[in-house]
Structure 1
Amino acid sequence: MIRLFRHYVPLPLLMLALVEASVFFWSIPLGKFARSWSEGWLFSVDGLFGKAFVFMLVMVSIMTAMGLYERNFWDGKADMMLRVAVGFLLGLFTITLIYYFFPDLYLGRGEFGIAFAVSFLLVALARYGFFHLSDYDMLKRRVLLLGCGRRARQIEQLSNGREGKGFKIIGFVRLNESDEVAVDADRLLPVRGTLRDLAEAQQIDEIVVAMEDRRRGFPVDQILDCKISGFEITDLSTFFERETGKIQLDSLHPSAMIFSDGFHQAALKTVSKRLIDVVSSLLLLGLTWPIMLVAALAIWIESGRRGPIFYRQTRVGRHDRVFEVIKFRSMRTDAEKDGVAQWAQKNDSRVTRVGAFIRKTRIDELPQLFNVLRGEMSFVGPRPERPQFVAELSQSIPYYSMRHRVNPGITGWAQICYPYGASEEDAREKLQYDLYYIKNYSVFLDLMVLLQTAHVILWGKGAR
């Protein structure tokens, strides 16, 4: 893992992004060169690298929007190649629009055709190779776990899933004979000599402290010896945060938050975030107003020209202030006729036919842009919840109120990483992603969320 602007990015994915960015950039000069060769070597580089940079920027942004640089995009080679193909089609459409509005960037059809075909072929080969190389153990970090109880078991389970692609557990160290063994007993490693000797013998890259109780038998001197010898020492909560993109509530303690390097609320960050909110909202309103007009007309017709088009609902915002969120109405007008707040369920019978479509495509969320312009919401942030749910969840889930330290968002880190939440357990899981976002907020993370929201909409993830 490498940390960019406070956000953890898997090093293999970063390398893949750099390789593909190079492919996109140099495919333009290659297309120009190949075309000039067929026409008698009439080759000019005037303005060529600027055009190559624009092509690279557009294509990398679209690939990001397709979810192809997500840490958990492992849905199989077929899904990956489908996303690459869709990304290139969107790239072709976008580049064509750019050439129309900015003629100075125009490339001849022959040159661009060669560049486009070459870049698609090389990206497909790079993706195919990356997909296979990522399973090689020699490319994974070798991790040693100090502890063999419930906390160590959580990392063992993590290593068996998609989030465990970047590391390999070499073994577990049982520090006390009385410690419960909750992991595979065959993977316990005896310490003959010192902990440093074991780490060197096993060629360990990282030692993760996953003890149940550090007050009992914590080997300070040996861990310090390993640290000074160059081994990376990581505690359980930091390891989970880095590998999963969320802060694990089970291993979270107040002292860990107090002395962590996150949760900054600098004035420059606040101003830059507000600027992004306003610009993004105005831009999206300018692009989507025809869609909003059609949606409003469809809702009005379906309701027999009598029902309301918009739906206002009280939500909890920053510092626990309540506000009315504005959405297109997607349910029957009597959806909560008894006045009791209800979670939206899968295939909810209260959803209308038009409502099902606008919820699936997230069109129902577009009126919230006015909430953003009024400063009640942000473009990116935790999902705003209803006061009834907030009161219940704050009692049962620790640290739940922390998500109200920032403006709620139309989209967010939790929304793109986890499907629609419709239970207390879902709310707990999404809170872990929200805490990661609040702790590690940066403009870079906001831009990543905005781009990756596109593939959530295109693939219909989490909509109900």
Structure 2
Amino acid sequence: MPQVWTVPRQRSASTTVLPYLRSPSSQRTRALRAWMLTLPVDLSAFLVPLVWNQDYWKGMIAAGSVTVSIFALGGLYVGRRHISFLDELPQLCVRLLAAAAVVALIAAARHDSVEYVAGFMRVVAIAAALVLAGRMLTRMAVLTARRRRWVEHSTIIVGGGPIATELARLLRRYPEYGLHFAGFVDVTSTSHDRSDSQPLIGDLNDLEEVIRILHCEVVLIADVACSDAELLRVARLPGVAACDLWVVPRLREFHSRHGIPDHIGAIGVRRVTRPSLTGPQFALKRVFDVIIAATSLLLLSPVLLLCAIVTRIGGGPGILFRQERIGRYGRPFELLKFRSMRLADDTESQTTWSVAADPRIGPVGRFLRRTSLDELPQLWNILRGDMTVVGPRPERPYFVDRFSADYPEYAMRHRVPVGLTGLAQVSGLRGDTPISDRARFDNYYIENWSLWLDIKVIVRTVIEVVRGGGR
């Protein structure tokens, strides 16, 4: 018998949660991901020639690592709904050739013998053929496991139109997509019938709770009738962010020519990739911060001393300016700067918006602000863990409350640590510029975060400082 789940509601009792048939295999396979099978098989297939030829074992291990790294960068270990070896074959061949070129250059640089390099590349060619064969076998294995429902992931479809209904029918009929249909989530004014064939299990405001109760791993957004702003708010909820998020593009007939197109029953779908704001990669960001901050404090110590001296001469006692700012998750901390304005009482300091022509700024302070030298003490904030090198700039509590009320996306900036510099600042949004623009750039940075993006922002910051493009 199907189990009836009830989602806690504060709204009308007329919207009920209809029966949901629990999928035992979905519970067992929740943690499975595409790379867990394909990556080990790719690497093992590449190293098979070592069974009969150990002359190039070091080079083969290095070449195998390069190959799987290039595959990973090309998205060849990302889960797909429509699995086809022939769809992947062009990408596989191109990336195998790229890996072989890298390996050949390294081998030529390390060995003067043409015969050695030629022999090594022959073994690499055999390994590449074995990788293709291994990839074909893994695709057949995954399809078999899906069709027999040994592997499937519980899925909620967000939407109430004909596309959402058709997707539900396809997932029920064709298990090779690896998704177990759990039910619909839609806006209150839904067009779903109250029947077991179209189980409405909640509306948008219930989505996070429904995911928790039904242990869903995939959210598929189809033709939900709501504004983009509302949909974006829901997609950013922590419970939704923990799921794999797939969308049906509104102009699905016009798919991108880049990458491998994906579909469910010829309905184009696209996986929404979001950066992980926790885990190993974000921990690496912290290591990067500590190295940058410690090195900068050491190398810039003469500059820091000089700034302290001119601040004392130009403005009297009180070299450092300390002020409460709001950091990650809304936690307050004490920010450090070289004082560039005359002393003010606490109320004025916390609630007065400073601009470039502020009369409180003296000649020394104007120079420090224009060159951004007044920000250097924040390297200690970074070392202490209050801040990061690149992130949204921290703001005072008074203005955080005010801006969060006026601009709904402003509070989303606090998903990550605040930074010494940020994408908004190197994009010209410093000083008296629109808060809505800053929030948009900050959230774009968060949602597209990578270590390379951090490096780009740092390079652009250095260019701005050299040009004297500060406030």
Same-fold call, TM cutoff 0.5: no
Which of structures 1 and 2 has the larger relative contact order (alpha carbons within 8 angstroms, sep 6+)?
1
TM-score by length of 2: 0.43
TM-score by length of 1: 0.44
Pair member with larger Rg: 2
